[in-house]
Structure 1
Amino acid sequence: MSMNAIKAIAFDLDGTLIDSVPDLAAATNALLAELGFAACSETEVRSWVGNGAKKLVQRALVAKSDREIDDDYLQQVLPLFMTHYQANLQQHSRLYDGVLEVLTQLKQAGFALAVVTNKPYKFTVPLLQAFGLDGLFDVVLGGDSLAKMKPDPMPLNHLLAHWQLGQHQLLMVGDSKNDIFAAKSAGIAVIGLTYGYNYGEDISLSGPDAVCEQFSNILAHVNHRPNEME
């Protein structure tokens, strides 16, 4: 798929712009300790993230309780996790190399930028603010901003409608097969990053249009100055 006509770019957050696993691991361990379960490692948490907070908690509880977790119990403990994550938000996270510089360059060049993440919205905005990224994005969609989240294409279809763009004019950039599948379902181009969280799988196996090992590499795949947004 050609990327020559791209006017807008949607970015995943965790594992793409920010390495947030250290904070998520701290919150997960605080929850496990409160519930009387054994602690988890940061490596384990890296393999559990990508489908939103609820799925992360479910995977952690199944792994450490060694039993199935029903939805009623999950709904009961999820607010506890949210409290622990709020307390640990941006305590240990870090921006990946080149992110601020590249996003600034893309913004100055005239691209419309969005964040499309499965992280709850109430955590997404403070995290962007903490790293000085909030002013660079025209739209921020959390995992609970719409009725469905990635890998469903709804958030990307929402952007196409919001900006009145053709499918060939929107690009998705992410580190997970959830990003790749959402983009493919929406009929848009997608770049897969190798350094993030993808359940231990090679991102190229999901068939992105391009694969980049560093965030700055995405600049080679888009025109440096798009036509003005209509």
Structure 2
Amino acid sequence: MTARKLTQAIDACIVDLDGTQVDTLGDFKVALNRMLAELQLPPVRRDFIEMAIGKGSEHLIHSVLAEQLRQLALADDAGTCPATRPEARYEQAWRAYQSHYQAINGRFAELYPGVLEGLQALRDLDLPLVCVTNKPLAFARALLVEKKLEGFFGHVFGGDSFARKKPDPLPLLEACRALGTAPARTLMVGDSSNDAAAARAAGCPVALMRYGYNHGQPIEQVEADGHFDSLAELAAALAAARHNA
């Protein structure tokens, strides 16, 4: 744990969803592979999905389509004919993915250890919480309900809530506006360089979980105000910092 930097006063927390609260890789794998089967494309590897998660559904689908069409071209020497370009298949893929993800949202996902305890501990510190994710808002709300987390958050914002997604600072600045808190006193809690970049650009301190999805890169290489093994550990560090202030 590197909690020593978390010494500034914190008035509220912005908490990411996928990779921070919920391990949704199983959901992504099932929905994407059902989508690919519908498009008569080969299934995608789990490690590729993990590297592509975090920049919104559009980026994820584009990345998976490009990779699977590349694999198909290598297998049958299809070359670069227009029918194999990702753009030609994107709309069909998007509709299929939306349908399949909605059908299984949360069924193949699990809470990370310490999430419930950590969220409750943050609430016990009288810290208002808002969830900010790049997942589409409808899917985010349904997942929070499925995992019985919705009651912890006063606001939930998805990747389609604003004009731009993380790593752009706009979602965090709008979350601070909704909370009525200054960015410098609003902690961003996430699991990736996207969360850290958005926080730095918005002027928020940032704490990163050591698990989750960071595009295949070690999270300790991402500069932050603290790296933690669980939300419960983070909450304990904030409680200690407040006690010692």
Is the TM value for this pair above 0.5?
yes
After superposition, residues 158-173 of structure 1 pair within 5 angstroms as: 158-173=174-189
Say yes or no: does 1:186 pair with 2:202. Answer: yes
In the alignment, the residues of structure 2 paired with residue 162 and residue 215 of structure 1 have an alpha-carbon distance, to the nearest angstrom, of 23
Q: Quote the residue 1:202 is aligned against.
A: 218
Any idea what the Cα deviations from partners look like across 1:77-110, whole Å, max 9, x if unmatched? 2121100101111111000111011101211321
Larger mean CA deviation between 167-176 and 61-70 belongs to 61-70
Q: Quote the residue 1:54 is aligned against.
A: 58
SS for the counterpart of 1:4 is coil
Shift of 1:183: 0.1
In the alignment, the residues of structure 2 paired with residue 2 and residue 42 of structure 1 have an alpha-carbon distance, to the nearest angstrom, of 34
After superposition, residues 125-136 of structure 1 pair within 5 angstroms as: 125-136=141-152
Say yes or no: does 1:86 pair with 2:90. Answer: no
Shift of 1:224: 6.6
Shift of 1:213: 2.3
Question: AA paired with 1:171?
Answer: L
TM-score, normalised via structure 1 length: 0.92
Q: Quote the residue 2:229 is aligned against.
A: 213
Question: AA paired with 1:8?
Answer: A
Q: Quote the residue 2:166 is aligned against.
A: 150
Q: Quote the residue 1:12 is aligned against.
A: 16
SS for the counterpart of 2:13 is strand
> Do 2:6 and 2:241's aligned partners in 1 also have CA atoms closer than 8 Å?
no
Any idea what the Cα deviations from partners look like across 1:58-83, whole Å, max 9, x if unmatched? 1111111016522x642342121100
> Do 1:106 and 1:224's aligned partners in 2 also have CA atoms closer than 8 Å?
no
Shift of 1:54: 0.9
Larger radius of gyration: 2
In the alignment, the residues of structure 1 paired with residue 178 and residue 49 of structure 2 have an alpha-carbon distance, to the nearest angstrom, of 34
TM-score, normalised via structure 2 length: 0.86
RMSD after superposition: 1.7
In the alignment, the residues of structure 2 paired with residue 175 and residue 68 of structure 1 have an alpha-carbon distance, to the nearest angstrom, of 32
- Runs of 5+ in structure 2 lacking a partner? 71-83
> Do 1:181 and 1:206's aligned partners in 2 also have CA atoms closer than 8 Å?
no
Shift of 1:165: 1.7
- Runs of 5+ in structure 1 lacking a partner? none
